[in-house]
Chains A and B, each alone.
Chain A
Amino acid sequence: MLTMVGKRLLAAVPSLIGVIIVTFLLTRALPGDPAAYFAGPAATKEAIEQIRVQLGLDKPLYVQFARYVADLGRGNLGTSLTTGQPVAEELKTRLPASAELTLLGLIVSIAIAVPLGIVAATRPNSIVDHCCRVISTAGVSLPVFFTGLILVYAFYYLLGWAPAPLGRLDVFFSPPPQVTGFYLIDSLIAGNGELFVAALKQLILPALTLGIFSLAPIARMTRASMLAALASDFVRTARASGLTPFTIVVTYAFRNAMLPVITTLGMVFSFLLGANVLVEKVFAWPGIGSFAVEALIASDFAPLQGFVLTMAVMYVGLNLLIDILYGVIDPRVRIES
């Protein structure tokens, strides 16, 4: 087991190196002179020169790269031009907001897609099956920011069930004392039920938006691999032995059908992390996505670079986790390694 985890860890190293090289090259690809760019529009010639030396831009590319890597090693992602704050600090304080939203989005997506896929597979060509197909095609076709806006219009403006799409908490509440940074968990730790409900209300619509967008691959894969599992010999044997349909579907077929579903989670996370940026903008969510969008509008590159790097590192980490999970669930993978 440990050797397998070690091997997977090693396999993730080239991806990480690639990610760091690409984010480094992205800054060097900035149009015009990066020194003039970082100095700001009002800078004098001397100031630009000073910044060039300060940033090490007068050195050859490989020295610059070494410097960049060394900075990363110290956890230094540069400084934001607009706020003057270190980017790493800002990302760290905003990360829990994004993580809470993304994870809840994933939970919503799995909670809808997996049962839908299972039911669709047990009754092929039934109404549920067609619904599954329509929902999963519509899910990928709906622009995620548009779904969000429609939900806001329906549940906030028309029905008045949801609070205004303005961040993590209504202005009347103050955030719970920080333990995990997740308001749902922190409010429970603080024993504040009212706060939990308030945080949940703010979360529901954005999480649902993310869930709808990312459920298609899970639903499709669940359906396809359940169909294969239900047609297999061991299910036929289980049926012949007189087990209840529920036991057959859930205990026998689903456990075997789960593996390909877990593989698609990698793709689902790519969807979720990308869509996160758009959803955060729609719901004024104070996460790292809206931080990046604000930086984009202000042409502030260091935060954006930090954001791309953080997202990519998280994505590599999540894929690693999925790989390891795969090994935990499927003993064959462990034996092969």
Chain B
Amino acid sequence: MTNIAVVGEGTPPRDSGIFAVLRHARYILAENGITAFAFGLFLLIVVAALLGPHMVPYDPLASDTAAALKPPSLAHWGGTDQLGRDVFSRVVVATRLDFFIALASVALVFVMGGLAGVAAGFFGGWTDRVVSRIADTIMAFPLFVLAMGIVAALGNTVQNIVLATAIVNFPLYARIARTESNVLREAGFVHAARLCGNGELRILLGQVLPNIMPIMVVQMSLTMGYAILNAAGLSFIGLGVRPPTAEWGIMVAEGAAFMVSGEWWIAFFPGVALMIAVFCFNLLGDGLRDIVDPRRRT
């Protein structure tokens, strides 16, 4: 496929190992400044997610009523909330949970939607009809509303937020995987593999699936931003994460009441963190897509 060829163009000849990966990454970043910027933000988010609790100056749950509702200062970079908790520390610590929810849901739908879509496109027939029907039914709902319904029905937990976010993204992944594998079904190397005596399932998993990976990985990056927004939106209306856990959506919800009385910092910093994270993933996804599939560049 052309997609693969395009990825290959900038890559040096096949040498394996970590150096090849790094060289390819350097090629991608040199090509596009905005993507490099987004990649820097991404690293920052990963560091905050991994080391957050060890980096922050205050305990994110420790309240100090004497220092409640203080505006940003040198001691409290993000100010303090109504219980005197340090907003900056809470925002940094929350990165792990928000990042985990988004990553887990995207990984889940990557497996579910990817496998279902590949099978639908490759086998056709009733597999295709079942998968397409499920995807159509999900698409018949406004996605956020369906996610609300799923979390409310299955129970108000973080796991169900992950599951609901994965389910509403299912049609997107299934459709892309289906289209791509439908094209590959007639590719020369698939016929060759069949002539060599490979079983259908083996061809599907060994030949078709690896070849649609680049497009699917781009899709993961593009939907990470949506997954973060979706999860934060659900916790904003009181689903999933519960106080006093530090999570961006719930922190914005807690700060909302103070916005009208002028204490802007409580909702502002978690909101900005959300925005940066989503912005970063959208830019990263756009950049990756341009490299993997230049035809869709807009």
- Give me the interface of A with B, judged by CB distance under 8 Å: 14-16, 18-19, 21-23, 26-27, 29-31, 137-138, 140-146, 149-150, 152-153, 156-157, 164-165, 220, 223-224, 269-270, 272-275, 277-278, 281-282, 292-293, 296-297, 301, 304-305, 307-308, 311-312, 315-316
Query: Could you say which of A23, A301, A305, A308 has the most chain B C-beta atoms within 10 Å of its C-beta?
Result: A308
In the A-B complex, list the 5 residue pairs whose CB atoms are closest, starting with the nearest. Answer: A274-B144, A18-B137, A146-B271, A273-B142, A141-B279
A157 touches B259 (CB 8 A): yes
Complex: A153 Cα to B143 Cα, angstroms: 29
B142 touches A315 (CB 8 A): yes
Fill in one digit per residue for B141-176: 1 if any A CB lies within 8 Å of its CB, else 0: 111111011101111000000000000000000000
Complex: A137 Cα to B271 Cα, angstroms: 16
User: In the assembled complex, how far is the CB of residue B14 from the closest CB belonging to chain A, in whole angstroms?
Assistant: 35
Show 11 residue pairs from A and B whose CB-CB distance is below 8 angstroms, ordered by the A residue. A15-B137, A15-B140, A19-B141, A146-B274, A149-B271, A274-B144, A274-B145, A277-B144, A293-B237, A301-B152, A316-B140
A-B pair number, CB within 8 angstroms: 146
CB-contact partner of A165 in B133, B145, B260, under 8 A: B260
Complex: A26 Cα to B267 Cα, angstroms: 33
Complex: A296 Cα to B236 Cα, angstroms: 12
Complex: A51 Cα to B153 Cα, angstroms: 19
Query: Could you say which of B154, B260, B283, B286 has the most chain A C-beta atoms within 10 Å of its C-beta?
Result: B260
CB-contact partner of A22 in B137, B142, B155, B260, under 8 A: B137
B137 touches A19 (CB 8 A): yes
User: In the assembled complex, how far is the CB of residue B143 from the closest CB belonging to chain A, in whole angstroms?
Assistant: 6
A311 touches B282 (CB 8 A): no
CB-contact partner of A304 in B149, B252, B282, under 8 A: B149
Complex: A297 Cα to B143 Cα, angstroms: 20
* B292 close to A (CB within 8 Å): no
Fill in one digit per residue for B246-273: 1 if any A CB lies within 8 Å of its CB, else 0: 0001001101100111101001100100
Given contacts A156-B260, A274-B142, contact A143 B152 (CB under 8 A): no
CB-contact partner of B153 in A153, A301, A315, under 8 A: A301
B140 touches A146 (CB 8 A): no
User: In the assembled complex, how far is the CB of residue A215 from the closest CB belonging to chain B, in whole angstroms?
Assistant: 15
Determine, out of B109-117, B202-210, B213-221, B225-233, the stretch whose residues face the partner at the interface. Answer: B225-233
* B275 close to A (CB within 8 Å): yes
- Give me the interface of B with A, judged by CB distance under 8 Å: 133, 136-137, 140-146, 148-150, 152-155, 225, 229, 232-233, 236-239, 249, 252-253, 255-256, 259-262, 264, 267-268, 271, 274-275, 278-279, 282-283, 286, 298
B239: chain A residues within 8 A (beta carbon): 296
Beyond the given pairs A278-B237, A305-B149, 7 more chain A to chain B contacts, judged by CB atoms under 8 angstroms and listed by A's residue number, are: A16-B140, A19-B137, A137-B282, A157-B262, A273-B144, A274-B145, A277-B237
Given contacts A18-B140, A143-B252, A143-B275, contact A278 B236 (CB under 8 A): yes
CB-contact partner of B142 in A138, A153, A269, under 8 A: A269
A31 touches B233 (CB 8 A): no
B232: chain A residues within 8 A (beta carbon): 143
B252 touches A308 (CB 8 A): no
A146: chain B residues within 8 A (beta carbon): 252, 267, 271, 274-275
Complex: A164 Cα to B260 Cα, angstroms: 8
A149 touches B252 (CB 8 A): yes
User: In the assembled complex, how far is the CB of residue B90 from the closest CB belonging to chain A, in whole angstroms?
Assistant: 16
A137 touches B283 (CB 8 A): yes
SS class of chain B's interface: helix, strand, loop or mixed?
Answer: helix
B140: chain A residues within 8 A (beta carbon): 15-16, 18-19, 312, 315-316
SS class of chain A's interface: helix, strand, loop or mixed?
Answer: helix
A164: chain B residues within 8 A (beta carbon): 260
Query: Could you say which of A16, A224, A296, A301 has the most chain B C-beta atoms within 10 Å of its C-beta?
Result: A296
Complex: A307 Cα to B146 Cα, angstroms: 10
User: In the assembled complex, how far is the CB of residue B166 from the closest CB belonging to chain A, in whole angstroms?
Assistant: 16
Complex: A282 Cα to B259 Cα, angstroms: 10
B238 touches A297 (CB 8 A): yes
A153: chain B residues within 8 A (beta carbon): 259-260, 262, 264
CB-contact partner of A308 in B146, B225, B262, B268, under 8 A: B146
B133 touches A18 (CB 8 A): yes
Q: What residue in chain B is nearest A32 (Cβ atoms)?
A: B155
A30 touches B153 (CB 8 A): yes
User: In the assembled complex, how far is the CB of residue A205 from the closest CB belonging to chain B, in whole angstroms?
Assistant: 12
User: In the assembled complex, how far is the CB of residue B116 from the closest CB belonging to chain A, in whole angstroms?
Assistant: 16
Q: What residue in chain A is nearest B264 (Cβ atoms)?
A: A153
Q: What residue in chain B is nearest A140 (Cβ atoms)?
A: B282
User: In the assembled complex, how far is the CB of residue A208 from the closest CB belonging to chain B, in whole angstroms?
Assistant: 16
Complex: A224 Cα to B282 Cα, angstroms: 18
B261: chain A residues within 8 A (beta carbon): 157
Complex: A165 Cα to B261 Cα, angstroms: 12
Given contacts A22-B141, A141-B225, contact A152 B259 (CB under 8 A): yes
B146: chain A residues within 8 A (beta carbon): 22, 308, 312
CB-contact partner of A312 in B145, B155, B264, under 8 A: B145
